[in-house]
Structure 1
């Protein structure tokens, strides 16, 4: 017959499983599970590292870190490497194990960085499902230097559930992304079939009525309506392309060339290296290129622009340059428009950098550098 302690553990495991199954937000899920897990196994402290395919890690959640590790906004937990991460990255960490010592704690003690609350060791468990690995679960307690097989088995069970939940959330995010693309395509079709055709009809009607009219004032007004409608049609075509970039399936170069034709720009494109770019980076470059070409059309007072795309040394560099009117800009100061700020943020979201050069009368240059992650 199960003991009261065993019944309590089963109830807690049930609560953890329910939270994992219901969660849709990664951060909230990990925080809630950690709060339930530590009392279950009588631990004081815990933390989770999420690790990407390139070995870059982030402190996803933590509970009751000692002051020596929590100092400077938890900087000791966010920098450098440690023994458990090295084992994980080397492929030597297959299941729950006892760690002899915590390297981060040891370094904190050596450097006299603050109170460690008597923590010297921790258990570590990989978060994985099948062959997919997502990170590490670590737990520790004051003066605890060894974890029983029962404790490690329990940790391994919870870690597997966490890994399965992470996988589920990632799949859901991918589904949402696909749903967004589908909705963009639907909206683009609707705009093309309704508003686009309506504007074209207004242009034809204005042109025909102007040719039949003998009143000069009416002719001028109809010419103005025709010009406005033509401009609106250009804007609508550009919007449709932003929603559904026809040609991106043939690569970023084709998409940018086609979009420049839609805007009525003369664009020269030079390519260096293999342009087989990951889809997320390709879409980022596409969105940045759209904004830069729109700026050229609307503000540069020139129809000529130059695009250079270079892939080398695990990074892609895109430069978009025009010889238009330019503007005064000093590096290091705030960007002068929301569009430029959006370009910068898009590049930085992919771990890249954004550079802007512009001078009155000498045009503008936007340079994007993004690392390519396999």
Structure 2
């Protein structure tokens, strides 16, 4: 097939659409032709995350590239849908354009009330969304107890949220023993699926299903123990990364390559890395730094922020909530401070919310009122609650 010439198309979108169609066509790419909406989900998530990373790094050249990759996902999904005569890219664009016009009457309807601030726009937007939601509910089934859990949450976090919602509705084990028994059951079922299999791909669906059940139960066990699976895995990822980097450093010192080093030697270096890590973690200050870094990583799953300081410590991050900017500052000594970026009362940015690492062993954080927090989710909710209280006080012109 001859490569298409961009000059033959009225615009770049038409060029991209035609390329995508050809990739899915009879003479196209075997991989692209096999894809479905479901198989593309991991790539859609990955491309979205890479866009976010480029934005946070303020690298617009990289951002342009990643937005292109994300756009291809949109075009590819639309192409797949058009082949099934469900919808096409034009319908996608038309729907969102009509929605934007509908939700911006202050812009597109001269007779409508004019809105002068971003907060008013957001409030108006929420009213329209609520109306649309009510219209949908008239035709949809009764709302699920799980419907408020965002689909965009990472899978471990989503599993934990599902379980908490179900537990509040009364669907839960009475004690941890039930979860332990379930974990044993799921582990045995998983092992049964993989025993004696020479080619895992021959039973991929069942293996994936059983592995998912096992992971879901592990998350449930963590929830019962008051441990966030997302936080726990983040911490383990960090340990693994540090140990691999230690091995790489040692190998570089002896001018050796990782891929060419015998497994026995790698095991020795791995154990050395563990010993070094254990010695490091015995330092109280470094342990607090490690726990604080874990909290930063967990909160980054909830808050889209960007670093506002280059220094190693304290670490500061800037984020926007309800059209206002705030900073979260984390100290090396185990504290987190939430500050407004504006100072309407002239008090030089008095903290809105403060947390202190009260118990490093139990990884418990405590605010100035004595309330304890252990999970990133709880801390995130406390941050947003503090901002709402702060804004309410601002509206009443009374300092909090």
Please tell me the TM-score bracket, short chain as reference.
Answer: under 0.3
In the superposition, the TM-score normalised over structure 1's length comes to 0.25
| Richer in strand (by share) | 1
| Richer in helix (by share) | 2
In the superposition, the TM-score normalised over structure 2's length comes to 0.23
State which structure, 1 or 2, has the greater radius of gyration over its C-alpha atoms: 1
